[in-house]
């Protein structure tokens, strides 16, 4: 059978995944969405599946925080949006009987907070000196800047960047060798304009635009999920994003073993062996195949010396970069700000400030400080208590009254989560060199998860789910 493509995976998924031949047992490493979907589909096919999960909950980077908040408030530490173009996410939500509702990220009163001044995106020209815009940018709104510097650029790249099914061409591969910042600067964008547009480059927010691949960015920005093209209706999962993982996990029941971090993976001609910690003792399970869904940031800590992996795979595991993100959630006694749906891009250390609970009933609100890049790394180095105090301190001048209305806070620093060690993949310059090696199966060991997607910017639930279907196709091929 030829290597699966994005197109063939979709066709197979829609027409029915073929049964497995010659595989009767599979160990899945990780109970995030990729692992859960793979295990769910394999179980349906009668394969004996064991899921080894290091954490005490399913879902991985889909993680809805319900504690320590009052009044039933909740906040998303990880994934929070889905669009109608997320074919696989929508499919599994439907199958599990879970609904969607409009996302918190659209229909906001988005604005900038720069040098202590609140600036709406259509009024940036009025603050051109304060912002440091070039003379020829002064008449532009942020939308206009995106049209000039991003949309026009993507249009020039033509259909090869925007095809629904991805296949990087030589011209796009050239683009993979330069950074997002360089492309924007070459098009004449000032540092100020780049700073104003950056909040719209969602997947690059963890990142230094200096190192991010322009190819990966252009591909994302030309697609329907992009914030700047707004080509899709944005939704969130009713009841919290973790509902999907919880529903899949409940179908799998005791096939999932929690608090079982995998520490070694090996294979020989007969079987694959997975060694994990079971309350401090090493245990090994054997199976026909292994599906590894743990992010490479976590796999770097697993002993793979007996896994018979190619040099290219080892290199990809070592090199793949992840974005740094810290999300701090501050419960406020009441909504004390004038905006209907608060969302601010700030030039302070807490970067994005938003009302994380605009749709939830009751007087209380959770204000989120969403830190990325080096600011996230600085906050990740703090203790949890310091992090909350630090965010509150930064918030007070942005939202006067924050300290007075603050009740309690919590945070997630994704770099510190031991089995994530980062938020989502950050495709750096040269990412195309790694892509095939990241997802290639190695004997009895298969690789799924967001990082193995066909899309260079695969950091989404949808591509994590897609990767599971690809792995099932790989395994069913004789």
Which residues lie near ligand FAD (CB under 6 A)?
29-35, 52-55, 60-62, 78-82, 261-262, 293-295, 298, 302, 325, 414, 419-420, 423-424, 449-450, 459-462, 464
Min CB(140)–ligand FAD separation in Å: 28
For residues 434 and 163, what is the distance between their CA atoms, to the nearest angstrom? 21
Q: Which is nearer to ligand FAD, 63 or 406 (CB)?
A: 63
Please state the closest distance from residue 30 (CB atom) to ligand FAD, in A: 2
Quick one: the chain helix, strand, coil %, rounded to 5? 40, 20, 40
Sign of CA dihedral 295, 297, 303, 308: positive
Closest separation in Å from C-beta 62 to ligand FAD:
5
What minimum distance in Å lies between the beta carbon of 294 and ligand FAD? Answer: 3
Please say whether the dihedral angle defined by the alpha carbons of residues 402, 202, 321 and 295, taken in this order, is positive or negative. positive
For 57, 161, 230, 273, 339, the CA distances from 310, given in Å and listed in that order, are 32, 30, 40, 17, 54
Q: Report helix, strand or coil for 255.
A: helix
Angstrom distance (rounded) from CA 412 to CA 417? 8
- Show Cβ contacts of residue 122 under 8 Å, excluding neighbours closer than 6 positions: 141, 142, 143
**Closest to 465 in 3D by CA, of 84, 107, 10:** 10
Supply 331's token pair. Answer: 């419960």
- Contact predicate 275/264, CB 8 Å: yes
**For residues 215 and 461, which CB has a smaller minimum distance to ligand FAD in the complex?**
461
- We find the least distance from the C-beta atom of residue 193 to ligand FAD, in angstroms, to be 25
Angle, to 10 degrees, between the axis of helix 311-319 and the axis of helix 431-439? 120
Least Å from the CB of residue 421 to ligand FAD: 9
Q: Which is nearer to ligand FAD, 327 or 429 (CB)?
A: 327
Question: Nearer to ligand FAD by C-beta: 161 or 294?
Answer: 294
Beta strands in 224-292 (DSSP E): 234-237, 256-257, 262-267, 272-278, 281-287, 289-292
Q: Which residues in 401-469 belong to E strands, given as ranges?
A: 406-413, 445-447
By beta-carbon proximity to ligand FAD, the closer residue of 53 and 428 is: 53
Angle (CA) 365-244-275 rounded to 5° is 115
We find the least distance from the C-beta atom of residue 414 to ligand FAD, in angstroms, to be 5
Q: Residue 327 CB, nearest distance to ligand FAD (Å)? A: 6
Residue nearest to ligand FAD (CB): 32
Minimum Å gap between C-beta 185 and ligand FAD is: 28
Other beta carbons within 10 angstroms of residue 284's beta carbon come to 10
What are the angstrom distances between the C-alpha of 146 and each of 141, 221, 390? 9, 10, 33
Q: Of 79 and 131, which CB lies nearer to ligand FAD in the complex structure? A: 79
Of 222 and 275, CB closest to ligand FAD? 275
DSSP state, residue 262: E
Nearer to ligand FAD, 83 or 405 (CB): 83
> Residue 350: what are its φ and ψ, rounded to 5°?
-95, 5
Nearer to ligand FAD, 154 or 325 (CB): 325
Nearest distance from C-beta of residue 359 to ligand FAD, angstroms: 16
* Smallest distance from ligand FAD to CB 17, Å: 18
- Nearer of residues 29 and 290 to ligand FAD, judged by Cβ: 29
In DSSP notation, 407-424 reads: EEEEEEEGGG-TTTSSSS
Q: Which is nearer to ligand FAD, 131 or 438 (CB)?
A: 438
- Euclidean distance between the first and the last CA atom of the chain, given in angstroms as a whole number: 7
Tokens of 139: 């008449």
């Amino acid at each position: 059978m030829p290597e699966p493509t994005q197109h063939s995976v979709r066709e197979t998924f829609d027409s029915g995944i073929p049964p497995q031949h010659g595989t009767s047992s599979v160990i899945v490493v990780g109970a995030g969405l990729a692992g859960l979907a793979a295990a769910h589909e394999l179980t349906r096919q009668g394969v004996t599946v064991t899921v080894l999960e290091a954490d005490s909950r399913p879902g991985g980077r889909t993680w809805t925080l319900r504690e320590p908040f009052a009044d039933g408030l909740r906040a998303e530490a990880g994934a929070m949006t889905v669009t109608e173009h997320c074919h696989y996410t929508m499919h599994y939500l439907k199958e599990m009987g879970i609904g969607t509702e409009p996302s918190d990220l659209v229909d906001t009163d988005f604005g900038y907070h720069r040098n202590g001044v609140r600036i709406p995106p259509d009024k940036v020209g009025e603050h051109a000196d304060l912002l440091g815009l070039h003379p020829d940018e002064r008449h532009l709104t942020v939308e206009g800047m995106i049209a000039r510097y991003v949309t026009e650029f993507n249009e020039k790249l033509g259909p090869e960047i925007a095809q629904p099914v991805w296949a990087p061409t030589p011209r796009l591969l050239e683009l993979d060798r330069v950074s997002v910042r360089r492309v924007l600067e070459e098009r004449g964008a000032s540092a100020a304009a780049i700073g104003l547009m950056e909040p719209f480059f969602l997947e690059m927010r963890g990142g230094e635009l200096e190192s991010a691949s322009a190819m990966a960015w252009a591909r994302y920005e030309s697609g329907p999920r992009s914030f700047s093209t707004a080509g899709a209706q944005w939704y969130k999962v009713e009841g919290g994003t973790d509902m999907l993982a919880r529903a899949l996990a409940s179908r799998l029941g005791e096939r999932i073993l929690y608090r079982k971090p995998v520490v070694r993976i090996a294979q020989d001609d007969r079987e694959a062996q997975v060694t994990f910690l079971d309350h401090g003792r090493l245990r090994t399970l054997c199976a026909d195949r292994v599906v590894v869904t743990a992010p490479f940031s976590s796999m770097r800590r697993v002993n793979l010396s007996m896994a018979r992996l190619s040099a290219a795979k080892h290199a990809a595991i070592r090199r793949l970069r992840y974005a740094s993100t810290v999300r701090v959630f501050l419960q406020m006694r009441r909504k004390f700000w004038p905006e209907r749906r608060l969302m601010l891009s700030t030039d302070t250390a807490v970067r994005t400030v938003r009302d994380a609970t605009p749709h939830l009933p009751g007087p209380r609100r959770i204000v989120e400080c969403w830190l990325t890049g080096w600011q996230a790394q600085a906050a990740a180095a703090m203790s949890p208590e310091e992090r909350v105090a630090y965010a509150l301190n930064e918030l007070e001048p942005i939202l006067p009254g924050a300290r007075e209305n603050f009740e309690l806070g919590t945070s997630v620093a994704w770099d510190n989560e031991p089995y994530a060690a980062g938020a989502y993949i950050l495709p750096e310059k040269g990412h195309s060199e790694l892509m095939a090696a990241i997802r290639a199966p190695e004997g009895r060991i298969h690789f799924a998860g967001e990082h193995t997607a066909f899309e260079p910017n695969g950091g989404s639930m949808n591509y994590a789910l897609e990767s599971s279907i690809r792995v099932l196709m790989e395994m069913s091929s004789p």
